[in-house]
Amino acid sequence: MTRRVDQSLPNVEVFCRAYECRSFTRAAVQLGMTPQAASRAIARLEATLGITLFRRTTRSLEPTAHGDRYYEKARRALEMLTEAERELSLERNKPTGRVRISAPPAYALHRALPAMGRFRARFPGIDAVVEVSSHNVNFVRDDVDFAIRLGAIKDGSLVRRTLGDFAVGVFASPGYLVRKSAPQSIEELDAHDAITFVMPATGRTLPWTLFAGPKREPVEWTPSRSLRIEGDVLGCVAAAVGGAGLVQIYDFVVEREVSRGDLVEVMTAFRGESRPFSAVFPKGVTLSRAARTLLEFLIEDARPHARPTAFNG
């Protein structure tokens, strides 16, 4: 029985195409065969089934009642076979292999790692390793395919792919804002305590960028007095929640703290411009298919988050 079905499958395809075209000639053209070959295929199928599928005249080709019923089942069977072949082809062509990336804690914990569940579901054959670290990567020594970095990339030896621009705001705890009212201008910031992050690559404090005036001109402001956090920008969040002062940080990093009421946004009229996160890897290096797949996934996944609720007080 299996051999009989296998031999009939090409004839079944010809039958379905002829049924839809109502013509051996048109079906043959679509299938890349001669009309005579198409007619013989239908005749073989009718002989195998022991029924007449078409009423043939010199001017028309009309299906019989048996032909109508057979077409419905044959069409569904061919569709199932096509879908099975497509799924197997996709499965066979899915990327596999190992990829290792390095990402700073803020991006890793709030963007990359939460996305890995979706990535693993889509690409189960890729074995991904995510190093959560702010240190500068040595791509060879650390065996890293690409690294995620914050801000402008000035190293000419690196290829940069922008993951996304993410908005930053100024936040503080409700307790701090009880002690010191929310600043309404850049000048008023000088009277406030600030929490700043020390960039590991330069050892310098990351300045704040705010927008002012009708043209929204960027203004850089570096606190004259601040609590300086080194190593992990998430330390700035913890300090702000504890009431140590104002912090300028990415919206997506403090979503949870804002939703719980641990932090509120101030100075919404001066929201800082987005600072980009980028994936970088050495020039002259061709990323593996697994690494390219993860990189493209992270770019696709990187979408700006909604603005947190502002502080009114």
Same domain? 154 vs 64: no
- Alpha-helical (H) ranges within the chain are 2-21, 24-31, 35-49, 65-93, 105-107, 113-122, 174-179, 234-241, 255-260, 289-301
The label of the residue with tokens 């770019």 reads 299
Q: How does pLDDT run across 104-152, given as a tens digit for each residue?
A: 998 999 899 999 999 999 999 999 999 998 888 889 888 999 999 887 7
Residue 41: strand pairing partners: none
- Comparing 64 with 309, which gets the higher pLDDT? 64
Question: Could you write out the DSSP letters of every residue in 59-121?
Answer: S-EEE-HHHHHHHHHHHHHHHHHHHHHHHHHHHHHS--EEEEEEE-HHHIIIIIHHHHHHHHH
The label of the residue with tokens 């696709």 reads 300
Query: What is the reported pLDDT for 189?
Result: 92
Same domain? 110 vs 43: no
Is residue 132, in this structure, part of any structural domain at all? yes
Residue 150: strand pairing partners: 277
pLDDT at 280 over 50: yes
Query: What is the reported pLDDT for 291?
Result: 95
How many residues can be counted in the chain?
Answer: 313
Is residue 79, in this structure, part of any structural domain at all? yes
Structure tokens at 200: 């590991």
Query: What is the reported pLDDT for 312?
Result: 37
Mean pLDDT of the chain: 87
> What phi and psi values does residue 294 have, to the nearest 5 degrees?
-65, -40
* Residue that is last in its domain, among 56, 76, 93: 93
Query: What is the reported pLDDT for 91?
Result: 61
Residue pair 28/37 in contact by the 8 Å Cβ criterion: yes
Query: What is the reported pLDDT for 81?
Result: 87
Is residue 310, in this structure, part of any structural domain at all? no
Q: How confident is the model at residue 261 (pLDDT cuts 50, 70, 90)?
A: very high
Q: For 297-306, what is the mean pLDDT?
A: 72
Query: What is the reported pLDDT for 309?
Result: 37
pLDDT at 188 over 50: yes
In angstroms, what CA-CA distances link 166 with 253, 262, 272, 274?
10, 21, 10, 5
Most confident by average pLDDT, 8-12, 139-143, 191-195: 191-195
Same domain? 187 vs 53: no
CA 115 – CA 117 distance, rounded (Å): 6
Query: What is the reported pLDDT for 274?
Result: 72
* Residue that is last in its domain, among 93, 112, 130: 93
Q: How confident is the model at residue 90 (pLDDT cuts 50, 70, 90)?
A: low
* Residue that is last in its domain, among 57, 74, 93: 93
CA 76 – CA 84 distance, rounded (Å): 12
Query: What is the reported pLDDT for 310?
Result: 39
Query: What is the reported pLDDT for 240?
Result: 96
Q: Which domain holds residue 71?
A: 2-93
Is residue 308, in this structure, part of any structural domain at all? no
Same domain? 166 vs 60: no
pLDDT at 101 over 80: yes
Same domain? 29 vs 110: no
The label of the residue with tokens 């879908």 reads 83
Q: pTM for the whole thing?
A: 0.62
Same domain? 51 vs 25: yes
Give every CB contact of residue 42 below 8 A, 6+ residues apart in sequence. 11, 14, 15, 18, 24, 53, 54
Same domain? 54 vs 198: no
